[in-house]
Structure formats: C-alpha cells, structure tokens
C-alpha cells in the first residue's frame, strides 16, 4: 500500500548546505480550466461561477463537503470576537490540541495558512543558485516554481514503474541538491534520515494522511530528527478556503524559516479558522466516518474503471490517476461538455488525468460520463 506522503533528503557537499524539500505529487493546483503564469495562476470564470452548482467538481484539491458541524459551530462562536487579534486562548489551544494528538512537543508545532507557505519557505530557506532541488516527476509544481524564483537548479527524476521515487537515482541526479519525492513508505523516510549527509533535512508532506491507514511521520519529530512534517486542513477537514495548516519540526529548523519576521506574522491566522480546526481535530468518530465515505466512493469508481478496462493508478488519498490512452486535454474537454470538471495532466504523463474523489453522487456522475465518452 502506498503511503500518501512524500519525503526528501539532501546532503552537504564541498561545504554547501544541501536541502530536502518534499511535496506529495497528489497535492495539486487546479490549472486545467484557466491560464497559468510562471509563478501564479489565473482561472477562467466559467468554472467559478453559478455553473459550479450543477457540475461535478473533481478537479481541485478539495473535499466534497465542508467542515464538521462542531467546527462550524466553533467558528461561528468567534465571529463577534474578530475585533480582537487574540481574544482568549484560541492560538495556544490549537497548538496544544495538535501536540496532544500527534504526541509531539508543543514547541515543535507551528500553524500556517495552509501548507503551501511552509513548503515554499523551505525551498527559499534551504535552496539557492548553489543549492538545487531534485524532485520526482510528475510532482507538485509549487517547489519547482519557488526554486526557479530563487535561481536554484531543478532536476526532475521520473517515478518508478510502481509510481514511487528512487531515492538513490535522485541523489545521483544532483548530489548537491535537495530532494523531493512521492508515495514514500516510512522505512524509506527512516533510511533517508539515517543516511543523509550531515546538515541536511527531510521534509514529509502529509496532506492526505487522514484518508490513509499509514502511520504518520510525526513520531520522527518527537524523536528530534532533522525532519519537517506538513499537514493541511483543506482535504478531509473540508476547510480549503479557511486556510489552515501546520508544520511540525525541531524549533531550530522552524526558526530558520522565519527569516524576516521572527514569527510576528508567520502563523497569524483568522480566529474562526483556528477555532474550527481545533474543534475538528477532536472529532475522531466524524473523521473515521468521512474517511470511510471517501473510500467507498473511490473503490466503487475503481470497480467501474476496471469494468471499462481503463488503466488507473490507485492511491490511499481522495484522488487517483486515469490513463485515457489519448491526450488528456481532449478528455478534459469532453468531461466539461458533460458538466464534470476533472483534473490536470503533466508533460511527462500527457494521457493521464488527476481525478479528485468527490461524494458518492459525484463519482456516479463521473462514471456515467465515462460510459458516455469512452
């Protein structure tokens, strides 16, 4: 079973500080329905208008439903207190909840507006024109854009035949660079930590961990390893536009990422988002229920694809890849004509589309369009 996280490692060579930056290739920006710039994105209005109310929305890194009811209630209770920056103890309560659930020291937890900010900060902090980055390909594009912005060399290594990354091949691609990969088992992460050169770090992106049965990597933080673990609330917790995420790492590593503000702005978050996240973390029964709903919808879709003899790449996350055996952009257009938005493809995988797992009804609609166009 693939682990829905990714890991990276880098080493020190000739006095250069290596880096590890990592992001799960399943973590994706929606780019198929609009033009994308070099460092930003612009999406066309058609898919972000009233049409959204009647289409199957399977092209973004989102959940098919919003926050849990206890989270909604907690957020609502804070709205009238938003005239204050920190009216009570909401900030430390959130950090304490994360530390208790993940069993990590309180000082190792930092909140962020999502997980993209700390990901980019890791690249800016540890990469430079003399310290490149090695990533799996396909992969999450944000580290590429950020590395390009800082002038760092970018080396892209194709995934293996079983859709994992080859750590040794990535090290060989650029020994002085940081590495990023996907679908990384914990034993590979532990191997990286044991074999990486001194001064390097390992970054593990666990954006989809709540949908998986895999063991989280937070225990490595508790052990004091040179590791940075990222989480987001935009997936299972249904809080994409509330912008909530966390990183877990030794304090010394976090301090390097503050750079310009000494934590004055880093980690500053809307009060309702903090309250919603804290309440949501404390709902193990609701978390398990939502996870089971996603798995049921995903497995039913896999069965349908198998019956249609379509090749697909399964995952433990709320997404998967389908190989249409023809240009994916043409298939995207056909789905759009039938009011279903599906995800993007990559240059290295031009016939493969990324599909987000939505509700059971969303996936039934997806399957009905598959029957119509295939």
Which pLDDT score is estimated for 13?
37
> CB of 283 within 8 A of CB of 97?
no
Residue at 18 is within a domain: no
* 253 and 295 belong to one structural domain: no
Residue at 13 is within a domain: no
Which pLDDT score is estimated for 36?
37
Which pLDDT score is estimated for 248?
95
* 307 and 161 belong to one structural domain: no
Please state the rounded mean pLDDT for residues 121-141: 76
Q: Kindly report which listed range (47-61, 186-200, 258-272, 310-324) carries the lowest average pLDDT score.
A: 47-61
Number of domains in the chain: 2
Confidence label for 21 from pLDDT (cuts 50, 70 and 90): very low
> pLDDT > 90: what percent of the chain?
46
* 199 and 301 belong to one structural domain: no
* 186 and 273 belong to one structural domain: yes
Q: Is the pLDDT of residue 90 over 70?
A: yes
Give the torsion through C-alpha atoms of 174, 208, 43, 347, to 10 deg: 40
Q: Looking at residue 289, which CATH number applies to its domain?
A: 3.90.1150.10
Q: Kindly report which listed range (69-78, 93-102, 254-263) carries the lowest average pLDDT score.
A: 254-263
Q: How far apart are CA 305 and CA 322, in angstroms?
A: 9
* 88 and 147 belong to one structural domain: yes
Q: Is the pLDDT of residue 370 over 70?
A: yes
Residue at 34 is within a domain: no
* 95 and 224 belong to one structural domain: yes
Give the relative orientation of helices 69-78 and 271-281 as an angle to the nearest 10 degrees.
150
Q: Is the pLDDT of residue 290 over 80?
A: yes
Q: Looking at residue 108, which CATH number applies to its domain?
A: 3.40.640.10
* 205 and 190 belong to one structural domain: yes
Q: Kindly report which listed range (38-52, 78-92, 182-196, 355-369) carries the lowest average pLDDT score.
A: 38-52
Confidence label for 302 from pLDDT (cuts 50, 70 and 90): very high
* 150 and 201 belong to one structural domain: yes
Domain coverage including residue 221: 69-281
b vs e for 198-216, b when ≥16 Cβ sit within 10 Å of the residue's Cβ? eebbbbbbbbbbbbbebeb
Please state the rounded mean pLDDT for residues 128-137: 74
* 81 and 148 belong to one structural domain: yes
* 85 and 153 belong to one structural domain: yes
Closest CA to 318 of 340, 337, 292, 284: 292
189 compared with 243, residue with greater pLDDT = 243
Q: Is the pLDDT of residue 39 over 60?
A: no
* 240 and 321 belong to one structural domain: no
Q: DSSP secondary structure string, 119-154?
A: HHHHHHHH-BTTB-EEEEES--SHHHHHHHHHT--E
Residue at 8 is within a domain: no
């Amino acid at each position: 079973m693939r682990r829905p996280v990714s890991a990276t490692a880098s080493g020190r060579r000739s006095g250069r500080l290596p880096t590890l930056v990592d992001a799960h290739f399943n973590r994706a920006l929606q780019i198929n329905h609009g033009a994308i710039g070099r460092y930003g994105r612009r999406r066309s209005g058609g898919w972000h208008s009233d049409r959204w109310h009647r289409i199957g929305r399977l092209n973004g890194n989102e959940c098919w439903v919003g926050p849990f009811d206890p989270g909604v209630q907690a957020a609502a209770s804070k709205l009238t207190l938003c005239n204050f920056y920190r009216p009570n103890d909401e900030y430390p309560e959130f950090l304490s909840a994360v530390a208790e659930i993940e069993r990590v020291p309180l000082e190792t937890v930092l909140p962020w507006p999502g997980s993209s900010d700390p990901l980019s900060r890791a690249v800016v902090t540890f990469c430079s024109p003399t310290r490149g980055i090695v990533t799996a390909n396909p992969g999450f594009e944000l580290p590429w854009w950020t590395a390009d912005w800082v002038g760092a060399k970018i080396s892209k290594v194709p995934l293996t035949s079983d859709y994992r990354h080859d750590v040794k091949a990535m090290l060989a691609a650029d020994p002085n660079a940081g590495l990023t990969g996907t679908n990384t088992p914990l034993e590979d992460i532990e191997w990286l930590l044991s074999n990486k050169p001194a001064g390097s770090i390992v970054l593990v992106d666990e954006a989809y961990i709540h949908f998986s049965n895999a063991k989280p990597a937070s225990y490595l933080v508790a052990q004091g390893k040179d590791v940075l673990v990222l989480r987001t609330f935009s997936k299972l917790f249904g809080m994409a536009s509330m912008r909530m995420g966390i990183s877990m790492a030794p304090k010394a590593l976090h301090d390097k990422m503050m750079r310009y503000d000494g934590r004055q702005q880093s980690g500053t978050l809307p009060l309702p988002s903090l309250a919603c996240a804290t309440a949501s973390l404390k709902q193990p029964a609701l978390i398990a229920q939502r996870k089971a709903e996603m798995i049921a919808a995903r497995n039913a879709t896999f069965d349908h694809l198998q019956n249609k003899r379509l090749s697909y790449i399964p995952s433990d996350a709320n997404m998967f890849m389908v190989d249409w055996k023809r240009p994916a952009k043409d298939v995207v257009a056909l789905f759009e004509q039938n009011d279903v938005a599906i995800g993007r493809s990559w240059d290295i995988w031009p016939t493969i589309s990324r599909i987000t797992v939505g509700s059971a009804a969303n996936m039934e609609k997806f399957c009905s369009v598959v029957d119509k166009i295939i």
